[in-house]
Amino acid sequence: MLHIVNGDCAIEALKDSGIEGDFLSWLDVLHDGPVPEGLSLEELSEVRADFIADCDWAVLEKAKNAFQKRDIVFRKCHEYD
C-alpha cells in the first residue's frame, strides 16, 4: 500500500505506529502560493517549484528534483493496493 502524506514527520509517526507499506511525502505547502487548475502534474510541479524557490524555502533545482522524484512515485500509485 502507498500512503501519501504531508511531510516527513507524518511518515515517522505512521511507521512508529506500526503501519506498513510505502510512504510518499508530498512536501509542498499547497495552501500557500499558486495552484492553477488545468495543469498536468509536471506543469504544476514546475509552478510550485518556482514559487518555493521564489520564497527562498528551497533552491530551485533541489525543489525541481524533489518534485520529479515524487511525481515518478505518484505516477506509479496504480501499482499499489
Q: SS in 3 state form for 44-66?
A: HHHHHHHHHHHCCCCCHHHHHHH
pLDDT for res 8: 86
Query: pLDDT at position 7, please?
Result: 83
pLDDT tens for 53-67 read 999 999 999 999 999
Query: For residue 31, how many other CB atoms are within 10 A of its CB?
Result: 6
Q: How far is CA 24 from CA 7, 8, 40, 43, 52, in A?
A: 9, 9, 19, 19, 19
Query: Domain residues for 73?
Result: 2-79
The larger pLDDT score, comparing residue 7 to residue 64, is at 64
Number of domains in the chain: 1
Q: Mind listing the pLDDT tens digit for each residue in 17-66?
A: 999 999 999 989 999 999 999 999 999 999 999 999 999 999 999 999 99
Put simply, whether the predicted model's pTM sits higher than 0.85 gets the answer: no
